[in-house]
Amino acid sequence: MNYSFVTVLIAFTVSTAHGSNVYEGQNSAVFAALCDSARFLNKLPAFHEKESIKTKEYAELIRRNMSLSDSAQKKLFAKDDNPQKWIESAPEKGAAKSDWNEMWQDRLTAIKERETTPGKAKEGVNFYSKLPPTNLQTSKAQVALFAATAREITKEEAPEWPEDPIRDSADPAGKLKELFLGGSDKKLANVALADLFGTGQTGCSSRDTTCTAGAGNNKPNRLLTAMACVWEVETNGQVNDICYKGKAGTNAWASGSGPNIGSLQAIAKKCTTDDSEPDETVDPLHMIENILKLITTYNTNSYLGAFETNCNGGKGNSRCVK
């Protein structure tokens, strides 16, 4: 599964358009879709390894081939200055063979699985130790042929995986958490306005600007930022239950002032309270599609959430991301 598409949640936020003033439940569909995203990013399932043509059968062939290698070749995997330690990169003296560099890591892994230290075999992995010399030589030639054939197959059939800046990073889970709360180590309890709106909270006092995506604008590039644009009231006394019943309206985000972090935390907690364990069955692509279904374009722009004139949260303008 390619995870870089999850950035679409944040960087390409668009919406349904509605006329007139907001009413209770108007953004409930948006609430449900973004809540799914919040739950996914807050409690991530395990990251599965990318599929590889190098199957367990391939690895077994390489192990057996290494078990039949002569002592001179096996010594190439030990350090010259400390023969009891494994060398971790291919030495130049083995490079004369055409397959040396491309097979180095597979062979090193294989020999480590059959020897505790260089030259000391593990118990029960001397596959051919009881064969008579004649049969041993025949087996050695056959297994070497099988291993070479397997190597050629992996070169021909290896899948080309697209680059994925999230999946290929050192901390993919942290990268995804950053999309939600602005930092890989952030939690709902300690997220701050600077995490969601940038250092100095640039732009968050201009709600319409903050909630407008596009060139030259302050994109809502954190999921919780977009959630604030869609759900927060502008002034106390406006319709509070636009997304769900019981939404507190005492911490407004008025255009010209910053939002209240406690109110934003409460919004996110509403989505994630029941999240005790990651959902291993969730399909992030389906999650994205559920958001994209809410797209409606009005004139030259598209909107996420209830919309009338702009996205400053005002009664006649509504709550949205433009």
Give the mean pLDDT of 110-128: 81
How far apart are the C-alpha atoms of 181 and 269, rounded to whole Å? 12
Q: Quick one: pLDDT at residue 282?
A: 81
Are 205 and 218 a contacting pair, CB within 8 Å?
no
The string of pLDDT tens digits covering residues 248-290 is: 556 678 777 888 888 888 888 888 876 667 777 788 889 889 9
Average of per-residue pLDDT across 113-120? 85
* DSSP string for 164-181: -TTTTSS-HHHHHHHHHH
How many residues make up the chain in this entry? Answer: 322
For 183, residues 6+ apart whose C-beta sits below 8 A from its C-beta are: 177, 191, 195
Residue 113 pLDDT > 60, yes or no? Answer: yes
What value does the mean pLDDT of the chain take? 79
Count of C-beta atoms within a 10 Å radius of residue 227 = 27
pLDDT at 97: 62
Query: Distance between CA 224 and CA 192 in Å, rounded?
Result: 11
Interval 89-101: pLDDT, tens: 777 665 456 667 7
Domain boundaries, the chain: 4-48+170-321, 56-157
Of 203 and 78, the one with more pLDDT:
78
Strands 120-121 and 115-117: antiparallel
Q: Residue 189, SS3?
A: coil
Q: Which residue has the higher pLDDT, 135 or 314?
A: 135
- The percent of residues in the chain predicted with pLDDT above 90, rounded, is 3
As a whole number of angstroms, the distance between CA 200 and CA 95 comes to: 55
